[in-house]
């Protein structure tokens, strides 16, 4: 009986040894990627930060794209900015042209360029791109498809009131124009003194010496221009005096 148990243990031991396999890890040397110190390899002729400071307590940061060499400035419409006053942060020893205290026109048709000269002598030119964030502008109709509105401007102090949506109630950025059938601008209305204007209503006046420009039996259209947007009526109006 003892001999049988010894043979049984021996067979189990052999089976365990046969089931075991040896695993060998193979290692190979591989060159590591180059590590770069980005703080020292960045261009010394770059713009680090571009900040608009004439927006009250909240300064607007420009989005700098060093690859495209652009600075995009998103401007909410309610600031009604015509020019930007900016602070520009540069690397140590760099200079910029034009200088950072120069006013940046928002509506300039020419490109707004800044050239940075680094301490090493390298130069980089950035283009500033103002983007106005303004809500949709709507000028309400005074006439309809079946009824043409007629306004009497015979009296002194003739005025015209308009209504709409998202009007900026400031004469410095909002104007009303008279447009003829050919799409030509005929007249720019004047400010209405002591008017109570809002984002939905605004009043304009007609100069006493300008009434001859308003021809009888003639169709005109109104165009409202508020900051960067404009809206024109679909149906014409007429004037009598």
Q: What is the pLDDT of residues 139-155, one digit of tens each?
A: 999 999 999 999 999 87
Decide if 22 is inside a domain. no
* Residues 118, 51 share a domain: yes
Q: Could you tell me the pLDDT band of residue 108, with boundaries at 50, 70 and 90? A: confident
Range of the domain at 110: 42-133
**Helix count and strand count (H, E) for the chain:** 2, 20
Q: What is the pLDDT of residues 206-239, one digit of tens each?
A: 998 899 999 999 999 999 999 999 999 999 999 9
Q: Could you tell me the pLDDT band of residue 128, with boundaries at 50, 70 and 90? A: very high
Q: How many CB atoms lie within 10 A of CB 139?
A: 23
With 70 as the cut, is the pLDDT of residue 19 above it?
Answer: no
108, 133, 158: which is the final residue of a domain? 133
Question: What's the pTM?
Answer: 0.71
Q: What is the pLDDT of residues 155-213, one digit of tens each?
A: 777 889 999 999 999 999 999 999 999 999 999 999 999 899 999 999 999 998 899 99
112, 133, 154: which is the final residue of a domain? 133
With 80 as the cut, is the pLDDT of residue 4 above it?
Answer: no
- Secondary structure of 35-49 as H, E, C letters: CCCHHHHCCCCCCCE
Q: What is the pLDDT of residues 43-94, one digit of tens each?
A: 999 999 999 999 988 889 999 999 999 999 999 998 999 999 999 999 999 9
For residues 237 and 139, what is the distance between their CA atoms, to the nearest angstrom?
Answer: 14
Domain count, the chain: 2
């Amino acid at each position: 009986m003892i001999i049988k148990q010894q043979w049984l243990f021996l067979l189990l031991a052999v089976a365990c040894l046969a089931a075991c396999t040896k695993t060998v890890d193979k290692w190979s040397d591989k060159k590591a990627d180059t590590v770069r110190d980005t703080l020292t390899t960045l261009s010394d002729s770059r713009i680090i930060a571009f900040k608009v400071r004439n927006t009250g307590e909240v300064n607007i940061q420009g989005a700098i794209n060093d690859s495209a060499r652009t600075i995009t400035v998103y401007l909410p419409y309610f600031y009604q900015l015509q020019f930007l006053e900016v602070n520009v942060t540069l690397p140590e020893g760099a200079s910029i042209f034009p200088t950072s205290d120069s006013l940046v026109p928002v509506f300039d048709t020419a490109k707004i360029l800044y050239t940075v000269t680094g301490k090493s002598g390298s130069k980089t030119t950035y283009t500033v791109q103002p983007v106005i964030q303004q809500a949709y502008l709507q000028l309400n109709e005074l006439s309809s498809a079946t009824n043409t509105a007629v306004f009497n401007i015979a009296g002194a102090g003739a005025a015209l009131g308009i209504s709409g949506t998202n009007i900026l109630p400031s004469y410095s950025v909002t104007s009303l124009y008279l447009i003829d059938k050919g799409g030509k601008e005929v007249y720019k209305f004047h400010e209405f003194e002591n008017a109570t204007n809002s984002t939905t209503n605004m009043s304009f006046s007609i100069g006493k010496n300008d009434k001859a420009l308003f021809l009888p039996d003639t169709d005109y259209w109104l165009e409202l221009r508020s900051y960067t947007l404009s809206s024109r009526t679909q149906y014409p109006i007429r004037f009598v005096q």
